[in-house]
């Protein structure tokens, strides 16, 4: 620092030599302070004086002769190093042997100067050179320590980062890697010492592309976005990582290095697919519901007149073949529309408390016929499996669809195993499927088929997606399973591998309450009296409905205008016994018509017909109105059952 003198301790038993050195150091001036001596000199002429100085504050530098009375310069050097380890020593001596110089330098001397007038004059330069080198070494040590400390902090920051990060050299060596990288991928540090090992393990199908990108990343001028890669984890699962990379320049050994950061998009992609699937299913569900509604109206006409036609042949032992064929085709078409409506609806239409083992047992005979003789059906149900709350018809459809799907996946012979068990779903699994954690009854359907490839698996729940041959699959089976299961508050998992079969696991929440359906079973002994008011805007449906009600025994007043029907009752309609109305009418809903009619005729029995499912757009209102629900298409027996329930004050 400016203004501070350099403290010098000089040991020499020669007064003449001390004077030469004193003169050289005392008169030396620096360019920055020409009026101030640079050195503060302290002299010792004997070993005793030197030993006394060792007890004082250390000097900045020590100068010593080699041959001193009673001891030599090497002893001075040892004493200084023992007392003041960081103080440099320069030997200034008239002994110019090479052996002495080598011994001095080996003992730790900073320099070795031969006494001569010219050498003494240059002594200040030698001192400055030694002290400058010492300062540079100290600064370098501080810088290296600071760098090492900084590198340690940076390495720790990388290792503890909550996202996947890796720093690697251009020869593949992994210099630092975050714990998130190893924990998410499942590969420990020992299994991926280099990026080559990482590529071999995590990129079985995209290795060449990923390796080329890594090689090019070192030449990038700055940080850049790499893109998304599907990596294979140690457990065989796949994750989507979005990479960015920044070149970090060269290491001290000349190798280039870069830092690579990954953003795990797996969960986001899953949620995106789930949202897209939900939106697609909702849109197609609306379309399916609308188509099914119109189709049910047409089927109602056919099945209604078929029922009327059957009455014409009531005195025969059996119906004509053509009439039986019409009836059977209509019922099969009605089943198809029910499947469309089940897909269109996200909630169970008629939930009941169901025991899975019992439901599966009741379907065993049907399932045996579905799968054929070459495939073995194995049922392993735990009878203590918890009951669930679900529409029994929907549950039957789940079982049938999964078994049919398993059958079609088996080329030739094989087996299908249906099993049930209880399972506690933890919060981590529940959050993946947006359900509540807790107790679930699980039904698994496992086959020995060909398995499902990754591309098909990503679209497995999509409506109308199928891998079956044209005419074999509709693409609605599994989407219907998905809608029914999620509508019941559950979820489904798929475990599959190419060539190793597939296992579908359906999780349904445990039910602790009973749902009891009110209303008596229908009876053909029901006898009607009075007036039935029929409200149906479809003329063909209205005509067949009018005839069916007439056959039951009612005097029928039919109209397609709901407001006209209300006016008729307001003006007075004698002997009004029941109102039968469609759920969807122009300008007003069927449940609203019933409510307004009951303001005029309290307690009026009512039947609500609909081409939709019970829980569609009128469901929320239907719960607040006592009435019998009658889904289209219906025959005369179903109509009688609904009329009997409505007249008795029950609901169906």
What's the number of domains the chain is made of? 4
CATH label of the domain that carries residue 170: 3.30.450.20
Residues paired with 588 in a beta bridge: 585
Q: Compute the half-sphere exposure of residue 401: CA atoms within 13 Å on the CB side of its CA.
A: 26
CATH label of the domain that carries residue 582: 3.40.50.2300
**Residue 622, pLDDT above cutoff 50:** no
pLDDT value for 525:
62
pLDDT value for 516:
39
Domain annotation covers residue 33:
yes
**Residue 567, pLDDT above cutoff 70:** yes
Whether the Cβ atoms of residue 581 and residue 610 lie closer than 8 Å to each other:
no
Domain annotation covers residue 368:
yes
| 113 and 177 assigned to the same domain | no
C-alpha dist (Å) from residue 565 to 168, 255, 536, 542, 559: 82, 90, 10, 14, 7
Domain annotation covers residue 113:
yes
CATH label of the domain that carries residue 487: 3.30.565.10
| 505 and 356 assigned to the same domain | yes
| 303 and 393 assigned to the same domain | no
Domain annotation covers residue 86:
yes
**Residue 642, pLDDT above cutoff 50:** yes
pLDDT digits (tens, 9 = 90+) for 269-302: 878 877 776 676 667 667 766 677 777 778 888 8
* Joined tokens for residue 640: 């009688």
- Choose between 533 and 584: higher pLDDT: 533
Residue with tokens 């010098």: 8
**Residue 1, pLDDT above cutoff 50:** no
Domain annotation covers residue 347:
no
* Joined tokens for residue 333: 């078409």
Mean pLDDT of 583-610: 91
> pLDDT grade, residue 222 (50/70/90)?
confident
pLDDT value for 619:
44
| 483 and 530 assigned to the same domain | no
| 290 and 317 assigned to the same domain | yes
Q: Which of 580, 556, 567 is nearest to 630 (CA)?
A: 580
Whether the Cβ atoms of residue 447 and residue 418 lie closer than 8 Å to each other:
no
Residues paired with 470 in a beta bridge: none
**Could you give the 3-state DSSP secondary structure of residue 88?**
coil
pLDDT digits (tens, 9 = 90+) for 171-203: 989 988 999 999 999 999 899 999 999 999 898
pLDDT value for 3:
58
Question: Is 0.75 topped by the overall pTM?
Answer: no
| 557 and 619 assigned to the same domain | yes
Whether the Cβ atoms of residue 107 and residue 74 lie closer than 8 Å to each other:
yes
φ/ψ (deg, to 5) at 153: -65, -40
Mean pLDDT of 530-551: 90
Among residues of the chain, what percentage have pLDDT more than 70? 86
Among residues of the chain, what percentage have pLDDT more than 90? 24
Domain annotation covers residue 317:
yes
Domain boundary among 486, 509, 532: 509
pLDDT value for 326:
81
| 244 and 393 assigned to the same domain | no
| 308 and 386 assigned to the same domain | no
| 494 and 552 assigned to the same domain | no
* Joined tokens for residue 348: 């169970």
* Joined tokens for residue 631: 């889904």
| 69 and 177 assigned to the same domain | no
Spell out the residues 6+ positions from residue 291 whose beta carbon is closer than 8 angstroms to its own.
340
Domain annotation covers residue 270:
no
- Domain, as residue range, for 13: 6-138
Residues paired with 494 in a beta bridge: 504
pLDDT digits (tens, 9 = 90+) for 254-273: 999 999 999 999 888 878 87
| 503 and 361 assigned to the same domain | yes
**Residue 56, pLDDT above cutoff 50:** yes
| 540 and 652 assigned to the same domain | yes
Degrees, nearest 5: CA angle 205-208-211: 120
pLDDT value for 625:
58
pLDDT digits (tens, 9 = 90+) for 426-474: 998 888 888 999 999 999 999 998 888 777 777 777 766 666 655 455 5
Domain annotation covers residue 145:
no
Domain boundary among 138, 173, 203: 138
pLDDT value for 349:
56
pLDDT value for 380:
92
DSSP result, 294-316 = HHHHHHHHHHHHHHHHHHHTTTS
pLDDT digits (tens, 9 = 90+) for 378-390: 999 999 999 999 8
């Amino acid at each position: 620092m400016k203004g501070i003198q350099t403290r010098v301790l000089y040991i020499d038993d020669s007064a003449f030599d001390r004077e030469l050195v004193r003169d050289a150091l005392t008169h030396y001036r620096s360019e920055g302070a020409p009026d101030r001596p640079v050195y503060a000199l302290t002299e010792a002429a004997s070993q005793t004086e030197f030993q006394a100085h060792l007890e004082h504050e250390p000097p900045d530098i020590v100068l010593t002769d080699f041959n001193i009375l009673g001891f030599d310069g090497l002893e001075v050097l040892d004493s200084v190093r023992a007392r003041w380890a960081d103080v440099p020593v320069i030997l200034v001596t008239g002994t110019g042997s090479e052996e002495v110089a080598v011994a001095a330098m080996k003992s730790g001397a900073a320099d070795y100067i031969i006494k001569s007038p010219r050498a003494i004059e240059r002594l200040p330069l030698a001192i400055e050179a030694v002290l400058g080198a010492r300062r540079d070494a100290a600064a370098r040590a501080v810088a290296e320590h600071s760098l090492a400390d900084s590198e340690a902090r940076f390495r720790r920051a990388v290792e503890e980062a909550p996202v996947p990060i890796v720093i690697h050299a251009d020869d593949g060596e992994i210099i630092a890697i975050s714990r998130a990288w190893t924990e998410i991928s499942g590969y420990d540090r020992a299994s991926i010492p280099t990026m080559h090992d990482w590529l071999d393990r995590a990129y079985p199908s995209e290795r060449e592309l990923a390796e080329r990108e890594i090689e090019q990343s070192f030449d990038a001028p700055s940080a850049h976005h790499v893109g998304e890669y599907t990596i294979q984890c140690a457990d065989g699962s796949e994750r989507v990582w979005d990479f960015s990379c920044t070149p970090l320049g060269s290491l001290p050994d000349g190798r280039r290095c870069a830092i690579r950061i990954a953003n795990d998009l797996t969960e986001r992609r899953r949620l995106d697919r789930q949202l897209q699937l939900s939106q697609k299913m909702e849109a197609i569900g609306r379309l399916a519901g609308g188509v099914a509604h119109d189709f049910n109206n047409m089927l109602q006409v056919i099945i209604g007149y078929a029922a009327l036609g059957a009455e014409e042949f009531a005195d025969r032992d059996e119906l004509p073949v053509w009439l039986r064929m019409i009836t059977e085709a209509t019922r099969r078409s009605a089943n198809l529309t029910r499947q469309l409506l089940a897909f269109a609806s996200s909630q169970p239409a008629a939930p009941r408390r169901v025991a899975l083992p019992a439901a599966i047992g009741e379907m065993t005979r049907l399932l045996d016929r579905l799968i054929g003789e070459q495939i073995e059906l194995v049922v392993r149900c735990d009878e203590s499996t918890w009951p669930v709350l679900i529409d029994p018809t929907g549950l039957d459809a789940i079982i049938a669809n999964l078994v049919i799907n398993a059958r079609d996946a088996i080329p030739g012979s094989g087996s299908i195993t249906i099993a049930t068990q209880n399972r506690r779903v933890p919060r981590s699994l529940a959050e993946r499927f947006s359900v509540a954690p807790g107790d679930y009854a699980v039904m698994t359907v496992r086959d020995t088929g060909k398995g499902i490839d990754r591309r098909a698996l990503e679209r497995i729940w999509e409506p109308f997606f199928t891998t079956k041959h044209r005419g074999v699959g509709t693409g609605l089976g599994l989407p219907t399973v998905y809608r029914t299961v999620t509508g019941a508050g559950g979820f489904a998992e798929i475990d599959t591998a190419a060539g190793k079969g597939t296992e579908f696991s359906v999780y349904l929440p445990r039910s602790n309450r009973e749902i009891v359906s009110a209303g008596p079973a229908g009876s053909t002994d029901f006898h009607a009296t009075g007036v039935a008011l029929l409200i149906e805007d479809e003329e063909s449906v209205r005509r067949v409905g009018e005839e069916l009600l007439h056959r039951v025994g009612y005097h029928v007043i039919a109209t397609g205008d709901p407001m006209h029907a209300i006016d008729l009752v307001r003006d007075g309609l004698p002997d009004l016994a029941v109102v039968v109305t469609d759920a969807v009418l122009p300008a007003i809903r069927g449940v609203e018509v019933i409510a307004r009619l009951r303001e005029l005729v309290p307690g009026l029995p009512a039947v609500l017909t609909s081409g939709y499912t019970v829980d569609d757009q009128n469901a929320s209102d239907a719960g607040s109105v006592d009435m019998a629900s009658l889904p289209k298409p219906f025959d005369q027996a179903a109509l009688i059952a609904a009329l009997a329930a409505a007249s008795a004050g029950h609901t169906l």
